[in-house]
Amino acid sequence: MIRLDHKYTTLNEYVNAERSNRYKAAKIKREEGYITKLLLRGVKPIKTPCGLRFHWHRTHKRHDLDNIGFASKFILDAMVDNKIIPNDNLNHITRIEHVYIKDNKEFVEIEVI
């Protein structure tokens, strides 16, 4: 299980940034990628093909699961950049699942399935 202690940008927040200023959205993508790459340092490569289950720990239920799960894009891109997976296409990632967990802190755990 890979744990990333970070509260990720939701899809609605990202879309609102894109609509207000395209540079703002690009900045979010760059910052989320940078933070995730730092959090993934030291994670060993994963044998592919595989599936991934994202356990989204959230402090509230105000967002839809698909809105929260959008951040998996940032995580998968960072996993490729850090050479944890060779690519995030269907040859390497065959299944993605999202699970919501009510918690006191916001973070995500990634389980290889």
Confidence (pTM): 0.91
What pLDDT shows up at residue 79? Answer: 98
Strand partners, 92: none
Cβ within 8 Å of residue 21, ≥6 positions away: none
d(CA 21, CA 31): 16
CA angle 98, 95, 61 (to 5 degrees): 5
d(CA 22, CA 8): 19
Could you tell me the fold of the domain covering 2-112? 60s Ribosomal Protein L30; Chain: A; (3.30.1330)
Percent helix, strand and coil across the chain, each to the nearest 5: 40, 25, 35
Cis geometry, peptide bond prior to residue 49 (ω within 30 degrees of 0): yes
What pLDDT shows up at residue 61? Answer: 84
Query: What does the DSSP 8-state code read for residue 69?
Result: H
Mean pLDDT split into 10-residue runs, the chain, 113 residues = 96 94 91 97 96 95 89 97 96 96 95 96
Q: Name the residue ranges covered by the structural domains of the chain.
A: 2-112
What pLDDT shows up at residue 21? Answer: 87
